[in-house]
Amino acid sequence: MKTSRFQIIPLPTEIADAARLAAKAGAADHALITVDSPESSPCRHCLRWAQPGERVVLFPYAAIPSGHPYSETGPIFVHANECQRYRATNEYPADFRNGRVFRAYDSNYNIIDAQVMNDSEPEIVIESLFQNPDTEFVDARSITRGCFTFRVQRA
Ligand SMILES: [Zn+2]
């Protein structure tokens, strides 16, 4: 399904590359991990599940920058080796059609709404959050672990 009215924003390549360099340099808060089970480690750069045997970098990412009441830094994965940034930004990423919660933020980074996808198509949940004119962006997160997965903006 095409997402006519919104755009998927994967993690910027500069951030993924910086995390890979920091992990190679042995930064204490950047862990190199070999994935051992499927659908455990979503890469925020290519927006795919890392496959068992692939290596990922686990590091803290400030999805909501500091200086706001809802500031939030949390753990995310990227592939340890170079991967292609998700390009189909007008389509909801196929690997994450389940297990996401969507948080709507206003332009001051305040959470103004949140919805679990339940049995709905994710596109429908996202469209409904953008029906509020105050919604500046929507963040997709893991329902179970709460980790940031990707951002969605108006097209
Ligand atoms: Zn990747």
pLDDT for 4 equals 65
Quick one: CA torsion of 39, 41, 42, 46, rounded to 10 degrees? -110
Q: How many angstroms does the Cα of residue 139 sit away from the middle of ligand 1?
A: 18
Angle at 9 between CA 139 and CA 118, to 5 degrees: 40
| The residue type at 59 | F
pLDDT for 147 equals 96
- Which 3 state secondary structure label does DSSP give 27? coil
As a whole number of angstroms, the distance between CA 37 and CA 54 comes to: 10
Q: How many angstroms does the Cα of residue 70 sit away from the middle of ligand 1?
A: 27
Read out DSSP for 15-62?
HHHHHHHHHHTT-TT-EEEE--STTS-EETTTTEEPPTT-EEEEEEEE
With a cut of 90, say whether residue 117 has pLDDT above it.
Answer: no
Q: How many angstroms does the Cα of residue 128 sit away from the middle of ligand 1?
A: 29
Confidence of residue 7 (pLDDT cuts 50, 70, 90): very high
As a whole number of angstroms, the distance between CA 23 and CA 70 comes to: 28
- Which 3 state secondary structure label does DSSP give 94? helix
The tens digit of pLDDT for each residue in 9-37 reads 999 999 999 999 999 999 999 999 999 99
- What is the sign of the dihedral through the CA atoms of 77, 138, 38 and 17? negative
Q: How many angstroms does the Cα of residue 13 sit away from the middle of ligand 1?
A: 10
For residue 65, the 8-state DSSP code is -
Mean pLDDT of 47-65: 98
For residue 40, the 8-state DSSP code is S
Specify the pTM.
0.94
The tens digit of pLDDT for each residue in 123-136 reads 999 999 999 999 99
Confidence of residue 119 (pLDDT cuts 50, 70, 90): confident
